[in-house]
Amino acid sequence: MNAFKRYFGLLFLIIAPFVIYELINGAITNIDSAGKKDINNPVIWIIIIAIFTPIAIGLVIFGWYAFRGEYDHLPEKSKEL
């Protein structure tokens, strides 16, 4: 199970920056001043990127700790904290 946690940590370390890159790339591609749809509005993209960037940063932090093995032993009782 610990190896499983480490693999998922590595996966999160790889996926999080890729997601942010794809969001920014999608924003650059879809923002158009002549567009009439909501996807062409830059305000929508700013909101989406502002919401998902801290989530991706959290995934990187979680992935780093999982990859380092910080979650190998989780406390079972409050005395272990």
Q: Under a CB-based contact definition with an 8 Å cutoff, are residues 30 and 45 in contact?
A: yes
Whether 80 maps to a domain, the answer reads no
Whether 67 maps to a domain, the answer reads yes
Whether 62 maps to a domain, the answer reads yes
pLDDT tens-digit series, residues 54-79: 999 999 999 999 999 988 887 888 88
Query: What's the CA angle centered on 11, arms 30 and 28, to 5 degrees?
Result: 10
53: alpha, beta or left? (left if phi > 0; alpha if psi -120 to 50) = alpha
Query: What pTM was computed for the model?
Result: 0.78
Which range of residues forms the domain containing residue 38? 2-72
Average pLDDT of the chain, as a whole number: 89
The whole-number pLDDT of residue 32 equals: 80
